[in-house]
């Protein structure tokens, strides 16, 4: 400190020395009042010092002088809008004042400008998430959703209805009236998900895009046929060979191949459209940004996790897994552009794949601000061609009827990439529907991989230990095991936090191993998944 005092004797207007003295009194001496004097003096000589102003604002906050602090911090933000610490301090102030929306907006700016992974960015992420949840609880989102639905109903000349469906296989789904032989358009949704208003608005905006395209005679349908399924077997020849080498039975392999074909085609259709929808929501429905931050962030995180799962990737083969990663990368790029959060690096793309994903995103940006109705299907076709998927589907002008069940599913599931089942084991009717839908969907690869994990865990356990786990899961099951729910824990499997599907897989495997005679009573429709899991497990060295 002595050398700073000496510097100020020689030059009392030495801005740098004044700021450093303020820092010392603030951080070392823990005397904010004295630090404030030095920071104010420094700003007299250099009023545009945004860092000194931010430090002054922080000290004023510590002294409880909130109004002064906000004025100083906002001036600092005007001087340099890219300094993240200023926005983080403002986020904290607004959060303390219960101004959740302003706190969220400042936190997002801090995320955007802070170095990736820095303490400032991590703190900003916490503020953004906390305040986004508070905004979502205000109820404003439901008001905007209703207004959007009313507008679309007038435009379409038919009602737009919302229906809760606890057993819906996706988080939300648009059911276009003409495709279902009914008078009304329906947005079905599974209740209880965070920021659900955003997911419903996503479906409504997709309906708006369809209406736009119809008005111009430009709406198209994404069609797959049995011929395309056969073409996929050729496309995925290495995957087919890999399944055979693992000793996986033909029926189980066929189930698996149909499942990944279905998933890949859903992504080929939805991925480009989702970018347009989410960008439009961000631009047009500004009050919905906190909801979008939460729910779109969850979608991106889950897509990245699925696309980088080593066992799933190895099973699918790179030719199948690569398009999934690149499509996911474009969604991660949008989320980073909108909110500054980097999920792209977690995908670990090769330089070649990163370049292609960036080219896709550049094309999307070229279209998005002046897109004509129906041009989104051009992007679908361009990306699929560049990924070698163009022989696996066809786009054709909208017709009243779909070709096959898969096409009907593709027409129904308009946006949300999360697919799961919601079942209540205590309700017979719901369980029956759960079983039927699981059967229709084919093999659930998440359950297969979780079953492989269970087989590995139980490998060296004695019968009594496995039986203890089985009974513990059965007790949980009496309260209902919901596939999408997170956070299940078992005393018999310490150190593991289970999702619903993960727990159901352990439920099935534990009874299969030690209580097979009771397995039918569980009514879990996972016989095919277990058969395949067993083959993968025994084929793994």
Please state, in angstroms and rounded to a whole number, the distance separating the CA atoms of residues 463 and 472: 14
Indicate whether 496 pLDDT > 60: yes
Give backbone dihedrals phi and psi of 373, rounded to 5 degrees, phi first.
-55, 130
Rounded to an integer, the average pLDDT of 423-451 is 58
The pLDDT of residue 212: 95
Give domain status of residue 11, yes or no. yes
What is the extent of the structural domain holding 501?
428-539
Alpha-carbon torsion (492, 493, 494, 496), positive or negative: negative
Q: Tokens 């004509």 sit at which residue?
A: 372
Give domain status of residue 418, yes or no. no
Rounded to an integer, the average pLDDT of 290-298 is 95
SS3 172: strand
Residues 148, 115 share a domain: no
Q: How many domains does the chain have?
A: 3
pLDDT in tens, 465-488: 999 999 899 888 877 888 767 788
The pLDDT of residue 102: 96
Residues 155, 27 share a domain: no
Indicate whether 2 pLDDT > 60: no
Q: Say if strands 160-164 and 185-189 run parallel, antiparallel, or are unpaired.
A: parallel
Please state, in angstroms and rounded to a whole number, the distance separating the CA atoms of residues 78 and 350: 40
The pLDDT of residue 66: 83
- Residue 108: pLDDT band with limits 50, 70, 90: very high
Indicate whether 17 pLDDT > 60: no
Between 252 and 148, whose confidence is greater?
148
Residues 128, 165 share a domain: no
Rounded to an integer, the average pLDDT of 382-388 is 97
Across the chain, mean pLDDT equals 84
Residues 372, 406 share a domain: yes
Q: How many residues does the chain have?
A: 541
In 10 A of CB 287, how many CB atoms?
13
From 90, 105, 136, the end of a domain falls on 136
The pLDDT of residue 532: 82
Residues 331, 227 share a domain: yes
| Of 182-186, 294-298, 362-366, 411-415, minimum mean pLDDT range | 411-415
The pLDDT of residue 419: 33
pTM of the shown model: 0.73
Give backbone dihedrals phi and psi of 437, rounded to 5 degrees, phi first.
-70, -40
Between 437 and 18, whose confidence is greater?
18
Residues 240, 330 share a domain: yes
Give domain status of residue 421, yes or no. no
Nearest residue to 228 via CA among 380, 383, 379, 395: 395
Indicate whether 431 pLDDT > 50: no
Residues 115, 162 share a domain: no
């Amino acid at each position: 400190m002595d050398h700073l005092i000496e510097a100020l004797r020689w030059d009392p207007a030495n801005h740098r020395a004044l700021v450093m003295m303020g820092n010392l009194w603030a951080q070392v001496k823990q005397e904010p009042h004295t630090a404030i004097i030095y920071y104010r003096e420094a700003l007299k000589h250099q009023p545009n010092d945004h860092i000194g102003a931010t430090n002054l604002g922080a000290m004023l906050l510590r002294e409880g002088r909130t109004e002064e602090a906000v004025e100083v911090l906002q001036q600092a933000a005007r001087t340099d809008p890219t300094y993240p610490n200023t926005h983080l301090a403002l986020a904290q102030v607004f959060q303390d004042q219960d101004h959740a929306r302003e706190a969220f907006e400042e936190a997002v700016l801090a995320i955007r400008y802070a170095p990736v992974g820095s303490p400032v960015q991590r703190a900003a992420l916490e503020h953004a998430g906390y305040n986004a949840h508070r905004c979502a609880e205000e109820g404003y989102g439901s008001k905007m959703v209703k207004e959007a639905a009313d507008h679309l109903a007038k435009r379409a000349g038919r009602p737009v209805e919302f229906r809760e469906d606890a057993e819906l296989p996706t988080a939300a789904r648009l059911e276009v009236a003409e495709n279902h032989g009914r008078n009304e358009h329906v947005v079905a949704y599974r209740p209880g998900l965070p920021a659900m208003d955003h997911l419903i608005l996503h479906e409504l905006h997709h309906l708006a895009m369809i209406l736009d395209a119809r008005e111009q005679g430009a709406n198209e349908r994404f069609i797959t046929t049995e011929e395309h399924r056969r073409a996929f077997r050729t496309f995925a020849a290495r995957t087919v060979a890999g399944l055979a080498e693992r000793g996986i039975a033909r029926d189980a392999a066929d189930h698996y191949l149909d499942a990944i074909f279905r998933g890949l085609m859903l992504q080929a259709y939805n991925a480009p459209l989702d970018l347009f929808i989410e960008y439009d929501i961000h631009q047009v429905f500004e009050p919905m940004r906190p909801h979008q931050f939460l729910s779109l962030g969850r979608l991106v995180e889950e897509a990245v996790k699925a696309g980088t799962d080593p066992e799933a990737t190895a099973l699918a083969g790179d030719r199948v897994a690569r398009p999934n990663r690149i499509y996911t990368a474009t969604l991660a790029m949008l989320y980073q552009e909108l909110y500054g959060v980097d999920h792209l690096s977690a995908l670990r793309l090769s330089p070649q794949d990163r370049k292609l994903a960036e080219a896709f995103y550049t094309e999307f940006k070229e279209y998005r601000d002046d897109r004509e109705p129906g041009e989104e299907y051009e992007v679908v076709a361009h990306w699929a061609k560049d990924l070698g998927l163009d022989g696996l589907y066809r786009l054709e002008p909208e017709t009243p009827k779909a070709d096959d069940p898969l096409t009907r599913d593709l027409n129904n599931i308009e946006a949300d990439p999360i697919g799961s089942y919601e079942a209540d084991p205590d309700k017979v009717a719901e369980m029956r529907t759960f079983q039927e839908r699981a059967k229709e969907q084919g093999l659930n690869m998440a359950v297969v991989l979780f079953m492989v994990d269970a087989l590995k865990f139980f490998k060296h356990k004695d019968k009594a230990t496995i039986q203890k786990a089985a009974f513990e899961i059965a007790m949980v099951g009496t309260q209902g095991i919901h596939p999408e729910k997170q956070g299940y824990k078992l005393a018999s499997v310490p150190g593991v936090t289970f999702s619903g599907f993960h727990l159901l897989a352990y439920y099935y495997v534990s009874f299969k191993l030690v209580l097979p005679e009771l397995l039918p009573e569980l009514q879990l429709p996972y016989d095919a998944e277990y058969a395949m899991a067993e083959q993968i497990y025994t084929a793994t060295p």
